[in-house]
Structure 1
């Protein structure tokens, strides 16, 4: 074991862990970032070409966070020297005057964010490639857009190292020993830090169990589907914005999200915001036929100018909490061990601010935002430790 002691050791080099490490190194903290897999990899939740970013949220605290997150994305982009964020705009689709769109508008208003509320007639006129019920419309968020996910993750890690951080991949943490100095064991080496941030993604249950923490987390396998345009370019970002659609009847109450023709030429990304429960280590054995069948019907009904079967299907993992808000908090009884987990498929866009508040917690500081919605004790103790 080396005598070297880091200010903070971050476990997990997905987007949230990498954002926290970037924030700390930029502040001059001696920071180590450990990743269990050789980088880059596609076993977690942070890989892929694109993610949606938006300020349009039903919850005020997310809209508030996204003001600063958007600024940090722009700053990271300038530092790295390549595109991370493309500001195309975003639309939230739902029933006109229904709770979903009205809640988005209320949050945007309270946070002084720009938006446009289209009538159903204007919605159909602006997006003629879509076919929704006549009482559907959208809230347009001009500050939203597309995050280049792989490039964003690479930017965090590149700038983390530029600011003096140390990144070690292929280093699975097998044991964490608590104390004033925390000791982290891996198969090949042992590391020490004054504070630790754990961002374990879908491996949360395994790594938190020795702390006596059992959260009500579900890991889901998401089928990332791409649908071919019948007319090439008909769903480019100049015509169709990234979207999130709330609980259409055909999808049994599940939500749907999508991005325009930006990744694979002539293909639109449309996915169910859910999937089958999985064991993280057996993810490739999950049966997602019901998801694909459900989405075939959805695309056939609402996107008539796309082929009704996906021509490309990739996979990702969500780690969901019951309320779909992450846990950003100290491990109970440990003021130098912080956890960030349970991002429920919408955490990528928030990572600049998530990384900041996790870093502030690790430094013993008061976070810049109220973390009440993200406290670990909002879930009652779980049996079966």
Structure 2
């Protein structure tokens, strides 16, 4: 049997961040991924996710600031740019631009509140009909490059890293958790489950989880009509509607919906793009993104794991830590997630909103 302080199940953005943070703090770490690097089965593939300070919840505005400083540290240690701060725009009544701009300024963000004509002059590829918030700290994260960088840094600090090695057969005991990974039996003082949509099946009732709903989402890639920089975009078209989002990825503009897609599981999803979602994306591009050719050049699917209230689940029960930055907005927090989970490993209490059993209001 092989022994470590910390084992990590899952090497997406969150698992790689935990491996990096825990090794940096002196823990012996073994990290396992069930599939090959860059696989397309989960939630961390591709080369573009939104980083933004622009939340309407001050709790997350504060956390994004902490995460931003850790992105800068990660880039220094990795020696490469992983977050391209192209800026972000939020518009539409559902984003409450006036309140959002005021909240960002309260947190030290040099946010601008623009009228639609000024915003359209700055970003002619986007249609605006009301006030627009510009978040200059916003940008685009490269998740695959980030995972590779954090995994490399963890391995340099001594972590054992194994791909195509699923974790299974968990057996908690008085000293930690015994489990199988590949052909080996391991024992860890603490096991961090950062398995995304596989979290519930892997834990198999060992930890009482909140309801976690897995959905298949789809995104579409459009060609800009003219070369030039694009910001990230979050558009809430009404107070009731969930948002559309867009961001640059390579030569394309990537467009998707932040809503609950088709309910599925990690192992039974069909990878088929919903034709109704495709039609909605085409209609949105025609109406709101005049700077793109409104015919998708490509499309793909990914998984969201939704938690109640769209918060995260970061908590410990006995020797098991549940690490699930859920609901489609966790990528921007990746290096901070590593720190928060390592705090849990070292005995810190969970953040109330991320606890397995949140305190009653």
Q: Judge same fold: TM > 0.5, yes or no.
A: yes
**Residues 278 and 286 of structure 1 are in contact (CA less than 8 Å); yes or no, is this contact kept in structure 2?**
no
Given the alignment of the two structures, is residue 108 of structure 1 paired with residue 93 of structure 2, yes or no?
A: no
Aligned residue among 345, 350, 355 for 1:362: 345
User: Residue 308 of structure 1 corresponds to which residue in structure 2?
Assistant: 294
Structure 1 length normalisation: TM-score?
0.87
Given the alignment of the two structures, is residue 329 of structure 1 paired with residue 307 of structure 2, yes or no?
A: no
Given the alignment of the two structures, is residue 206 of structure 1 paired with residue 201 of structure 2, yes or no?
A: yes
User: Residue 383 of structure 1 corresponds to which residue in structure 2?
Assistant: none
Aligned residue among 241, 264, 273 for 1:253: 241
Aligned residues: 358
CA gap of 1:40–1:299, structure 2 versus 1, over 3 A, is closer
User: Residue 234 of structure 2 corresponds to which residue in structure 1?
Assistant: 244
- What is the correspondence of 1:85-234 to structure 2 with a 5 Å cutoff? 85-95=83-93, 100-133=96-129, 136-179=130-173, 180-211=175-206, 213-229=208-224, 231-233=225-227
CA gap of 1:373–1:247, structure 2 versus 1, over 3 A, is farther
**Residues 196 and 362 of structure 1 are in contact (CA less than 8 Å); yes or no, is this contact kept in structure 2?**
no
Question: Hey, what's the Cα distance between the residues in 1 that align with 2:6 and 2:255?
Answer: 39
Question: Hey, what's the Cα distance between the residues in 2 that align with 1:144 and 1:153?
Answer: 20
Structure 2 length normalisation: TM-score?
0.93
CA gap of 1:356–1:30, structure 2 versus 1, over 3 A, is same
- Which deviates more, 119-128 or 82-91? 119-128
Aligned residue among 348, 352, 358 for 1:372: 352
CA gap of 1:287–1:259, structure 2 versus 1, over 3 A, is closer
3-state SS of paired residue (2:30): strand
Kindly report structure 1 stretches of 4+ aligned residues shifted beyond 6 Å.
none
1:186-244 C-alpha deviation (Å, 9 max, x unpaired): 34111111111111101122023331524311212221211122x331xx32xx31111
**Residues 276 and 286 of structure 1 are in contact (CA less than 8 Å); yes or no, is this contact kept in structure 2?**
no
3-state SS of paired residue (2:267): helix
User: Residue 299 of structure 1 corresponds to which residue in structure 2?
Assistant: 285
The structure where strand makes up a greater share of residues is 2
3-state SS of paired residue (2:137): coil
Given the alignment of the two structures, is residue 269 of structure 1 paired with residue 254 of structure 2, yes or no?
A: yes
Question: Hey, what's the Cα distance between the residues in 2 that align with 1:206 and 1:105?
Answer: 41
Question: Hey, what's the Cα distance between the residues in 2 that align with 1:341 and 1:62?
Answer: 16
**Residues 210 and 308 of structure 2 are in contact (CA less than 8 Å); yes or no, is this contact kept in structure 1?**
no
CA gap of 1:286–1:269, structure 2 versus 1, over 3 A, is closer
RMSD: 2.1
3-state SS of paired residue (2:148): helix
Question: Hey, what's the Cα distance between the residues in 2 that align with 1:318 and 1:152?
Answer: 19
Given the alignment of the two structures, is residue 68 of structure 1 paired with residue 62 of structure 2, yes or no?
A: no
**Residues 271 and 301 of structure 2 are in contact (CA less than 8 Å); yes or no, is this contact kept in structure 1?**
no
3-state SS of paired residue (2:263): coil
Question: Offset of 1:342 from its aligned partner?
Answer: 4.8
Question: Hey, what's the Cα distance between the residues in 2 that align with 1:106 and 1:189?
Answer: 54
Question: Hey, what's the Cα distance between the residues in 2 that align with 1:19 and 1:212?
Answer: 22
CA gap of 1:164–1:372, structure 2 versus 1, over 3 A, is same
Aligned residue among 313, 324, 338 for 1:341: 324
**Residues 176 and 188 of structure 2 are in contact (CA less than 8 Å); yes or no, is this contact kept in structure 1?**
yes
Question: Hey, what's the Cα distance between the residues in 2 that align with 1:285 and 1:74?
Answer: 35
Question: Hey, what's the Cα distance between the residues in 2 that align with 1:202 and 1:286?
Answer: 17
Unpaired runs of 5+ in structure 1? Answer: 381-385
Unpaired runs of 5+ in structure 2? Answer: none
